[in-house]
Amino acid sequence: MNVLTNKKVIISLLIVLGIVFPFIIPNLYYLHIMTLAFIWTIAVYGLNLLAGYTGYLSLAHGGFFAIGAYVIGILTVKLEMGFWLSFLLAPLVTMFIGLIIGLFALRTKEHFFAIYTLCVGYIIYLVIDKWEGLTGGVRGLIGIPLPEAIGPITFQSPTAQYYLAFFIFLLVVAVIYRIVHSLTGRTFIAIRNSEDLALSLGISTKRNKLLAFVLSTFFAGLAGAMYAGFIRFIGPEIAYTTITFDLLTYMIVGGIGTFAGPIVGTFLIVIISQNLQFLQDYRMLIFGPLLTLLIIFSPRGIVGFIQMQLYQRKRKKQESLAYKNREEETNAGG
């Protein structure tokens, strides 16, 4: 009970913090960083759904992120469509491409799946980089428009964009929460724990794996579209493996397969990276070994570590309580 109220208090505090952040720190640069952190977190949630809950490590996630960004870029810049319609279409198109790739990729397992998706990611990068007519090649796409005003709400100022990202972020977290705690979410976990067992329980692993894959590409595409709308310039480097590995690092540090992991990992690393500006190019000198050490000593990241500590403390308390009770019983009996 105590933990539950604690959780509620923490969540409300965090939401309030998110709302008042632009007022406490009216620094445009920090606002920019925070907005980006929301966008990355959404992509990490997508990855976590597949790798963390279903147990399939996809290394094409950066590629799907880029597809989302490029769909909105091409629709608005080349076809001059409206922002919101393109914004709606971007994750859907990404999802559709994800569905087709997933149909084939999910025939493979474990190492083969990781290598397969790594190659898919690379093909996406090469196509974006070389297909000048569609994607602008190495020059990328410039001049993605701002979101159009909805009624009285305009998205000109960085603060408005921050709130837009924050709003979508909250929406995504709520949706992910629903998915993870639904029967579907438990099915994913069952597949991760043992695919054979899940299959023998009558779970259609094929369909559920595909669902997890498609959902994960949806969130990657959504994050990509938000990124393109926010930065308003995209180049082929957003499809490169560095993005995939960044997202992977956020997920592992926060805690793979945990609900709060993506938020904790992303914000922690984004904030640390900002404070270690001088390290920008060399940040992997720290995060690379961190990734390896975490996976050896705390495979479920920071959140997993905390959960373990809490659990052990609770168990100890229960044990000592049970011990005390027994002692009292024997005393009373004697």
Partner 1 sequence: MELLMQQLFNGLTIGSVYALVALGLTLVYGILHIPNFAHGALYMVGGYITLIMMTEAGLHYILAMVVSICVVGLLSVLMERLVFYPLRHSPPIQDKVAAIGILLFLEALAQFIWGADYRQMSTPFGQVVEVFGLTLTLQRILIVFAAIAVMILLYWFLKKTFTGRTIIAMAQNREGAQLVGINTHKVAILTFFIAGALAAIGASLTSPINLVFPGMGHLVILKAFVIIIIGGMGSIPGAILGGYILGFTESLGATYLSADYKDIIAFVLLILILSIKPQGIFSKGGV
Residues forming the site for partner 1 (CB under 8 A): 51, 55, 57, 104, 107-112, 114-116, 118-120, 122-123, 126-127, 130, 241, 245, 248-249, 252, 256, 281-285, 287-292, 295-296, 299
State which amino acid sits at residue 331.
N
CB nearer partner 1, residue 82 or residue 299 = 299
Q: Shortest Cβ distance from residue 36 to partner 1 (Å)?
A: 20
Q: Shortest Cβ distance from residue 133 to partner 1 (Å)?
A: 12
CB nearer partner 1, residue 160 or residue 286 = 286
Beta strands in the chain, from DSSP E residues, in sequence order: 141-142, 233-234
Question: What is the spatial distance between Cα 34 and Cα 38, in angstroms, rounded to a whole number?
Answer: 6
CB-CB contact of 217 with 71 (8 Å): no
Question: What is the spatial distance between Cα 234 and Cα 297, in angstroms, rounded to a whole number?
Answer: 38
Q: Shortest Cβ distance from residue 318 to partner 1 (Å)?
A: 29
CB nearer partner 1, residue 86 or residue 217 = 217
Question: What is the spatial distance between Cα 132 and Cα 29, in angstroms, rounded to a whole number?
Answer: 33
Residue with tokens 């409206």: 82
Question: What is the spatial distance between Cα 66 and Cα 240, in angstroms, rounded to a whole number?
Answer: 9
CB nearer partner 1, residue 127 or residue 170 = 127
Q: Which helix (H) or strand (E) holds 237?
A: none
Q: Shortest Cβ distance from residue 40 to partner 1 (Å)?
A: 17
CB nearer partner 1, residue 194 or residue 320 = 194
CB-CB contact of 192 with 70 (8 Å): no
Q: Shortest Cβ distance from residue 315 to partner 1 (Å)?
A: 24
